[in-house]
Structure 1
Amino acid sequence: MADWDDEWQEDQVVVTPAPRPPQNTRVYRPNPGGSRDNRGYSDRSNWRETRGNDNRSTNWRDQSDRNNPGFRNQGSRDQGFRDQGFRDQGSRDQGFRDQGFRNRRNIPEGNKKTITVPSHKVGRIIGKGGSKIRDLEYESEAKIQIGDSNGALTNITLLGEDASIAKVEDMINSLLEDYKPAVPKVNSCTADNNTSDDFFKSNEAGVEVIDWDKLNAHYEEQQKIRYEQLPPIIKDFYKEDPQVAAMSPKEVKHWRLTNNDIQVKRTFDDKPGLKPIPNPVVTFDQAFQHFPEILEEIRKQGFERPSPIQSQAWPILLRGEDMIGIAQTGTGKTLAFLLPALIHIDGQTVPRDQRDGPTVLILAPTRELALQIEKEVSKYKYKNIKSVCLYGGGDRKEQIKVVAKGVDIVIATPGRLNDLIVTGHLNIINFSYIVLDEADRMLDMGFEPQIRKSLFDVRPDKQVVMTSATWPNGVRRLAESYMKDPIQVNVGSLDLAAVHTVTQQISFVDEDDKEEALYEFIRNMESSDKVIIFCGKKATATHITTELAMRGIEAQSLHGDRDQSDREAALSEMVEGTVNILVATDVASRGIDIKDLTHVVNLDFPRHIEEYVHRVGRTGRAGRTGVSLSFISRKDWGHARELIKILEEANQEVPDELQQMAERFEAMKLRRDKEGGGNRGRGGRGGRGGGRDRGDRFMF
C-alpha cells in the first residue's frame, strides 16, 4: 500500500493559478519566505490584480487560460489538459479520439446527434478503462464522443448512420436508468385472496414490505423450471478394467500406502446408496482403453505410467463424481482433471456446434498458472477441442472474439471471468464440468467473492473438481457450496509439507546483508544452474534485477507491475534457457513449470508458510532434485516453529539458531500474554508492543 501511495503522490498534477512564461519551459522561482500563499508567484503580491479583476471564480480561467497559451501548455485543468496531452494519456474525452481509441473500427460518421446526460452518470457510459464505450460502439457501429460539461450535464455526440445512432442512444438510455429491483408477479394461490398477487405484505406496523419467504420460494421454483429445460448431462464414462476390479481391499490399501500414502474418503457424510470409491488404475490402458485417441496423445508425451494422483483421480472423475485433490505442487494434478474433461466434452448429447456456450471451465488464481494450463491443454489434440485463456492484462476484445467464435474449454482467472459473465459474454449455466485449480491460493488472494458471484447461476447437476495443496476452512466452505458428495484424494499427509526431492537450506543474515549474500550465491553458481529469486515486494524485485544488470549479470523479472507481454517473455526466456536467473514475487510461486530449475532462493521469507512450500515446489519437480536457500533475519522469527515442522517432515537438517528463534518467539508471546494481551495492551506499534522493537529485542 505504501508503494502505491508513493506512486500516486508522484503522479499528481499540481495546478497553480499563476501565470506562466509563454515558452514551453519549466521555471522555478524560489520562495525564501516559505509562504504558502506566495509560493511560485515570484514577487507578485496580488496575482488576481494582474488580471484586472479579483473575481476568482471566473477571470483566472477566462483570461489566463484563453490569452496565455504557455499556461495551458503547463497543465491547466481546463483547456490546457487537452492541448498538452493530458487526454492523450487516456482521458475519457478528447484523448480517446487523439490517441487512436476510436480507430479500432472504420465507422462512417454519417449524421450527428448531440444528447445530454447527467455528469455523474458519464462513467457508466465509459466503463472501467473504456471497456463499456468500446462495447457500445462495437455493437451499434456508431461513434460516441464525450463533450464538454457545464457541471450538472455533459454533452455527448453520436455519429453514424441513423439506425446506428438510434441504437446506441437506446443503449445509453438503458445504462443511465437507475436500478430498481423488480418484484415478479405471480397468480393468486387462492381464489378468494384478492391481494396476494404480488410479493408484498403488511408488517406489524401496517407498513407494506416485501415478503421475502414468498419471493425466495418463487425464485427457487423459477430456477428449477429453468434448470429442467437444460439438456441433460452425461458424466459417467468409466468402464472398469477387469484387473482393476479384481484388486482386493488389501492390494488396494498396499498400493495406496506405497504411492505416497494416498488417503481416499468421502469428504462429508458417507450417505447410504452412494457407490463405493473406485480402485486406482495402475496403467494408462486401464484408464483409457476405450478412448484410443486419448491413449495416443498420452504416448506422444512420453509418459511411462500415471502419477499417484492421476491413478486414483481418473476412475473417480471418469465415473462422474465430484473430487477434491489435495497434493503437493508438481504431482500431475493438471493432467488428472484435464483428460476426463476432454472425454466429458465429446460425450454430451448435444453436438458441440449446437451448444449455447463452452462446456468446461477451469479457474486459476494467477495469469501464469492459467497460461500454463492452456499450454498443457494445447498438447492434447483430441476431437479438435478448442480452448481460450481469459485473464486480466490480455486483449479483452480479442478474448471476447474468440469466445464468440466458439470454444469448448475456458481457462480463466476469477476477475476476468466475472467481468465477461457480468457483461453477458459468458453464461455460467452452460458449464457442466468446472475445475477450481489451486483453490487455497485463490482464497488467499481474496477471490472468494468473485468466485461466488461468477458461480451464482451454475447448474446444480454439474461436475466439480477442486485441487489444492492444503485444506483450510475456506476451501472446505467452497466444497460444501458447489460440490455434491465429493471424494477427497489426499496424496501424502494433510499437514503442510514441502517436496522431498528438494534440499532445504537456511542462512541467517541481517536484513542489510541479504543482498550481498545473494550476490555471493550468484557468483558461485554453475553455468548450468537455473534459479528463481523470490522477493516480498515488486519494488525489491525491480531493484535486484537492476543491480544484477549493473553488475553485468543477465536476469529477468516477473511481478505484477510488469505488462503481460513482458511477464510472458520473462518466463519464456527462463524456459528456453536464454537467461538463468528470474527475480520474482509470489505470482511465480504457483503455476510456473521450469523443468530444469535447480535452485530457489527466498531473499525475503514469505508472509504465509504455505507460500514457502509452493516456492520450494518450483524446483525438484517430476522426480528431479533441487535446492532451496532461504535467508532468515530477525523479523522472520514468527515463522520459525512452522518452518521447523516442514524441515522435520522432509528429513532436513534443523539449525540450532532456528530452534532458538522459535523458543524466544514463544517466550515473548507468553510474556506479553501475562502483561496484558500483546500489542493492544501496549499501544499498537509503539513501545514494547511495536513490530520494530519486537525484532530488535531478539538476538541470536
Structure 2
Amino acid sequence: MEENWDSDGEGWDTVQAPVAASHNVGVSGSSTNRGRTRGGYTRGQGQHYNTTWRARGGHHSESRNRGNFRYDNTNRKVITISSNKVGRVIGKGGSKIRDLEYETDAKVKIGDSSGYSTEITLFGTNDAISKVESLINELVEERKPPTPKENPNNHKNAVSTATNEVSIDRNEYMMLNENGVEVIDWDKLNAACDKAQKEKWERLPKVNKNFYREDPTVSNMTPAEVSRWRLANNDIKVNRTFEEKEGLPPIPNPVITFEQAFQDYPEILKEIYKQGFKQPSPIQSQAWPILLRGDDMIGIAQTGTGKTLAFLLPALIHIDGQPTPREEREGPTVLILAPTRELALQIHKEVIKYEYRGIKSVCLYGGGDRREQIDTVAKGVDIVIATPGRLNDLTKAEHLNAINFSYIVLDEADRMLDMGFEPQIKKSLFDVRPDRQTVMTSATWPSGVRRLAQTYMKDPIQVNVGSLDLAAVHTVTQKIMFVEEDDKEHTLYEFIENMNKDEKVIIFCGKKATARHISTDLAVKGIECQALHGDRDQIDREAALEDMLEGTVNILVATDVASRGIDIKDLTHVINFDFPRQIEEYVHRVGRTGRAGKTGIALSFITRSDWAHASELIKILQEANQDVPDELQKMADRFSAMKLRKDRDGGEKRGRGGWNRRGAYY
C-alpha cells in the first residue's frame, strides 16, 4: 500500500497501488468501509467501497459491481522480468499498473525480487492474462533509439510533434573545452531546442482572444466619472502590473450593467438572469471588459467578491469563439487550476450552472475516481478544473494533452504557493502555448505571486478591489477570547451549548488530530456535527459539505482545507479554536462568514503561545474598525520587547505572559 501526498496538499491519502521496493512489492485490492460520518460515527458500515475497482462503462457488468471488482484468483500466471524494469510496469504512483488492469480486466501483483529479477503474478481469465502479459512485454522490451530521419529542411535533428523531445546528432552538439576534453555545447543545443519549440508553436491553429465591443455609454465615460465609480466601488485600482509599453491599448472603462458587457451574447445574458443577479460585482464590472478584450489579468480581491464569475463567463465566450471547431480540437481549451479539491469542486459547481452551447467541463482532483476522470476527458471536454497534482498525473500519463489550452486561470494563486505547488504549476504550464490568455486571482499580493505573474503572464492588467494590505471582510464582527490552552475545549462546548438552532458554525483547528478529537467528542456528547480534513476519504469530505449546505448539521469541524473555496451562504459563525500559523489564513477563515451582504461573527481563542501573531492581528482588527483588547496590545508589546532583547543580547531567552484570575494579561 502506498501513501501519496494528497493533491490538495492538506494530508496523506491512502492509495491502493503498488510501490517498487527492493524485495516485496504488492498491490492491495482489499475493500474499505466508507460511509457518511456524523460526528465521528459512520453511516452505512459494512458496505464495501473500493477505490481501485470501479464499474466501467457497461462491459462485464455481470462481474463488476461499482465499488467491488471480483476476479478469479484461482486462475493465475507468474512471469519474471528484470528488476530494473519494474518501474515501467508500475508507473508514477501506480498509474501504469492501474491502466493495465483497467484495459485488460486482469489483476497484476508485483511479487518477490531475487535481486536481478522480479516475479509478477497475473490473475484473471486466460484471455485477460494473455492481454496483460503482452502489454507488460511491450513495456519492458529494450528500447532502441529512433532511426534518424532527414527532415524537409535538411536539419540533422528529428523533432517529435507530439512532445518536446528532440533527437539530435550527438557530434553536431559537441565541442572541445580549454583542456581538450569533448563536452556538450549547451549554447548550440539550447538554441536548437528553442528553434524546435518555436516551430512547434507555429504549427498550432491561431487563437482568437478579442470578443469585446465597447458599449457607447461605457466609451463616453470621462476619466473623472471612471475615477469616481472606482472609488465608490471598494476603491478599485487598475493599472499595468509591470512597466508600461508603447503601443499597448488603454485600460478599458468598467461596465455598469450586464448588458453593457454581454450585449452581443444574449445566451450568456439569459444564463445570468436565471441566477437572479441584479448588477455586476465591482471585480466583475472591471474584469469583464479586460478579459473579453483578450488581455491577461491579475485580480486581487477578498474571498466572496465574485471572482469566479469574473473569469468564467469570458472563458465560455473564448471557447466558442475559436476558429477550430470544438470537435476537431486535440484537447480542452480552458484550464482552471485551484489549490484544493474543495475549491475545485466549488468552481465546477459554478461552471455547470451556466449552460452555453453544449460546453462540457470536468473536475480533476486527488481522491476522486481517477479512471472515471480519465474516461470523462477521453469523451471530450472544453473546461478542465483541476488541482495541480492530479493535472500533472494525467498529463504525464498522456491522458490529457495540455498543448491546446488557450485560456488559463490560476485561482487563489497565493494559496497554491503557500501549499508548495509552484513546481507543479511550472510543469502544468511548460507545454502550454505561449500565446494563451492567462488570468490569475489572489487575495493577497506577496512576492511569490508577483514572480509567478512575471514568468507566465504577458503585459497583465492588475485589478485591486480594496487595499493591497491584508484585510478581513468588514461584514464580520471579529471577537477575541483569551484562554489557557487547557480551557479551550470547555470554552468551545459552552459556546455550542448556547447556540441557537438557526446558527451555523465552522470550527477551525490547526491539526487533523485536533479536528478528529473534537468531532468525536461532540458525537459522544450527542451533538451532531461533521468533520472536514485531509485524513477523510473524498466521499466523506463531500458528504460533510453537503450536510452543512442542506442544514442536516450546523457544526463543521475543519482544518484550513476549508478556509478557501467553501461557500455556505447562511454560515453565522467562525471559531478559530487554534489560531492559524499564518495571518493570511486568519483572513480567509474569517471570510467564510459574512458573505453575499450578510453579517457574521468570528471568534478567536488566543493563548499565550499565540503572542507572535498579536501585532499582525491588531492591524487586521484596526483596518476593519474592530475593538482591539488591551490584553492583545500587551501581548504585542511583550513580544516586540522580547525580540529587541534577543537581538541585543544574542541569547535564546523567551518570555511569555499569561492571564491572572481576573482575565488581565501580565
Label 1:141 to 1:644 Cα distance change in 2 as closer, same or farther (>3 A). same
What is the CA-CA distance between 1:172 and the residue it aligns to?
A: 2.0
Alignment identity in percent? 69
**TM-score for both structures, normalised by structure 2:** 0.84
Report the equivalent of 2:80.
Answer: 116
What is the CA-CA distance between 1:160 and the residue it aligns to?
A: 3.4
- Which amino acid counterpart does residue 265 of structure 2 have in structure 1? F
- Which amino acid counterpart does residue 565 of structure 2 have in structure 1? G
Report the equivalent of 1:580.
Answer: 554
SS at structure 1 position matched to 2:403 = helix
What is the CA-CA distance between 1:619 and the residue it aligns to?
A: 0.3
- Which amino acid counterpart does residue 133 of structure 1 have in structure 2? I
- Is residue 2:376 matched to residue 1:402? yes
Report the equivalent of 1:419.
Answer: 393
Report the equivalent of 1:24.
Answer: none
More deviation, 199-208/435-444 = 199-208
More deviation, 523-532/203-212 = 203-212
1:305 to 252, 257, 279: 279
- Is residue 2:138 matched to residue 1:164? no
Label 1:533 to 1:178 Cα distance change in 2 as closer, same or farther (>3 A). farther
Label 1:576 to 1:381 Cα distance change in 2 as closer, same or farther (>3 A). same
Contact 2:481 2:603 in 1 (8 A): yes
Which whole-Å CA distance do the structure 2 matches of 1:438 and 1:201 have between them?
47
- Is residue 2:251 matched to residue 1:277? yes
- Is residue 2:421 matched to residue 1:447? yes
Label 1:335 to 1:100 Cα distance change in 2 as closer, same or farther (>3 A). closer
What is the CA-CA distance between 1:200 and the residue it aligns to?
A: 1.2
More deviation, 612-621/201-210 = 201-210
- Which amino acid counterpart does residue 362 of structure 2 have in structure 1? V
Which whole-Å CA distance do the structure 1 matches of 2:423 and 2:501 have between them?
46
Contact 1:108 1:161 in 2 (8 A): no
Contact 1:108 1:160 in 2 (8 A): no
Contact 1:313 1:336 in 2 (8 A): yes
Contact 1:112 1:160 in 2 (8 A): no
1:570 to 544, 550, 556: 544
Report the equivalent of 1:267.
Answer: 241
Which whole-Å CA distance do the structure 2 matches of 1:307 and 1:588 have between them?
24
Which whole-Å CA distance do the structure 2 matches of 1:242 and 1:361 have between them?
33
Report the equivalent of 1:357.
Answer: 331
1:504 to 478, 481, 489: 478
Contact 2:522 2:529 in 1 (8 A): yes
- Which amino acid counterpart does residue 185 of structure 2 have in structure 1? D
SS at structure 2 position matched to 1:264 = strand
Which whole-Å CA distance do the structure 2 matches of 1:319 and 1:99 have between them?
44
- Which amino acid counterpart does residue 175 of structure 2 have in structure 1? K
SS at structure 1 position matched to 2:430 = coil
Label 1:147 to 1:628 Cα distance change in 2 as closer, same or farther (>3 A). closer
- Which amino acid counterpart does residue 629 of structure 1 have in structure 2? L
Which whole-Å CA distance do the structure 2 matches of 1:198 and 1:108 have between them?
56
Label 1:99 to 1:616 Cα distance change in 2 as closer, same or farther (>3 A). closer
Label 1:207 to 1:115 Cα distance change in 2 as closer, same or farther (>3 A). farther
Which whole-Å CA distance do the structure 2 matches of 1:518 and 1:499 have between them?
24
Correspondence 1:428-439 to 2 at 5 A: 428-439=402-413
What is the CA-CA distance between 1:495 and the residue it aligns to?
A: 0.1
SS at structure 1 position matched to 2:574 = strand
Contact 2:470 2:620 in 1 (8 A): yes
Report the equivalent of 1:527.
Answer: 501
What is the CA-CA distance between 1:130 and the residue it aligns to?
A: 3.5
Label 1:653 to 1:235 Cα distance change in 2 as closer, same or farther (>3 A). same
Contact 1:592 1:618 in 2 (8 A): yes
What is the CA-CA distance between 1:137 and the residue it aligns to?
A: 3.8
SS at structure 2 position matched to 1:271 = coil
Which whole-Å CA distance do the structure 1 matches of 2:233 and 2:331 have between them?
39
Deviations 1:197-227 (A, max 9, x none): 5211111122211111111111110111110
Which whole-Å CA distance do the structure 2 matches of 1:183 and 1:648 have between them?
69
What is the CA-CA distance between 1:156 and the residue it aligns to?
A: 3.0
Report the equivalent of 1:132.
Answer: 96
- Which amino acid counterpart does residue 404 of structure 1 have in structure 2? A
1:605 to 570, 579, 603: 579
Report the equivalent of 2:588.
Answer: 614
Deviating beyond 6 angstroms after TM superposition, the runs of 4 or more aligned structure 1 residues are 102-105, 176-180, 182-186, 695-698
- Is residue 2:114 matched to residue 1:150? yes
- Structure with higher Rg: it is 1
What is the CA-CA distance between 1:139 and the residue it aligns to?
A: 4.4
1:638 to 612, 619, 627: 612
Q: Which sections of structure 1, spanning at least 5 residues, go unmatched? A: 9-76, 91-97, 190-194, 683-687
Report the equivalent of 1:334.
Answer: 308
Label 1:637 to 1:172 Cα distance change in 2 as closer, same or farther (>3 A). same
What is the CA-CA distance between 1:164 and the residue it aligns to?
A: 3.4
- Is residue 2:281 matched to residue 1:317? no
Report the equivalent of 2:181.
Answer: 207
Deviations 1:529-556 (A, max 9, x none): 0000000000100111111111111110
SS at structure 1 position matched to 2:601 = strand
SS at structure 2 position matched to 1:452 = helix
What is the CA-CA distance between 1:610 and the residue it aligns to?
A: 0.2
- Which amino acid counterpart does residue 576 of structure 1 have in structure 2? E
Which whole-Å CA distance do the structure 2 matches of 1:694 and 1:655 have between them?
18
Which whole-Å CA distance do the structure 1 matches of 2:606 and 2:285 have between them?
39
Contact 2:23 2:112 in 1 (8 A): no
Which whole-Å CA distance do the structure 2 matches of 1:89 and 1:206 have between them?
61
**TM-score for both structures, normalised by structure 1:** 0.80
What is the CA-CA distance between 1:171 and the residue it aligns to?
A: 3.3
Contact 2:23 2:113 in 1 (8 A): no
SS at structure 1 position matched to 2:172 = coil
Deviations 1:183-208 (A, max 9, x none): 9998489xxxxx99521111112221
Label 1:179 to 1:375 Cα distance change in 2 as closer, same or farther (>3 A). farther
- Which amino acid counterpart does residue 459 of structure 1 have in structure 2? R
Which whole-Å CA distance do the structure 2 matches of 1:100 and 1:663 have between them?
55
SS at structure 2 position matched to 1:198 = helix
1:488 to 452, 459, 462: 462
Deviations 1:492-536 (A, max 9, x none): 000000000000000000011111111111111111100000000
Contact 2:214 2:260 in 1 (8 A): yes
Which whole-Å CA distance do the structure 1 matches of 2:553 and 2:51 have between them?
36
2:635 to 661, 665, 676: 661
Report the equivalent of 2:18.
Answer: none
Select the structure that is richer in helix: 1
Label 1:113 to 1:519 Cα distance change in 2 as closer, same or farther (>3 A). closer
Report the equivalent of 2:40.
Answer: none
Deviations 1:302-361 (A, max 9, x none): 000000000000000000000000000000000000000000000000111111010000
Contact 1:113 1:165 in 2 (8 A): no
SS at structure 1 position matched to 2:586 = helix
Contact 2:608 2:656 in 1 (8 A): no
- Is residue 2:266 matched to residue 1:292? yes
Label 1:145 to 1:207 Cα distance change in 2 as closer, same or farther (>3 A). same
- Is residue 2:532 matched to residue 1:558? yes
Contact 1:538 1:561 in 2 (8 A): yes
Q: CA RMSD in A?
A: 3.3
Label 1:569 to 1:145 Cα distance change in 2 as closer, same or farther (>3 A). closer
Deviations 1:630-671 (A, max 9, x none): 000000000001000010000000110010000000000000
Report the equivalent of 1:14.
Answer: none
Deviations 1:257-314 (A, max 9, x none): 0000000000001100000000000000000011000000000000000000000000
Contact 1:143 1:160 in 2 (8 A): no
- Which amino acid counterpart does residue 235 of structure 1 have in structure 2? K
* Structure having greater relative contact order (Cα 8 Å, sep ≥ 6): 2
- Which amino acid counterpart does residue 125 of structure 1 have in structure 2? V
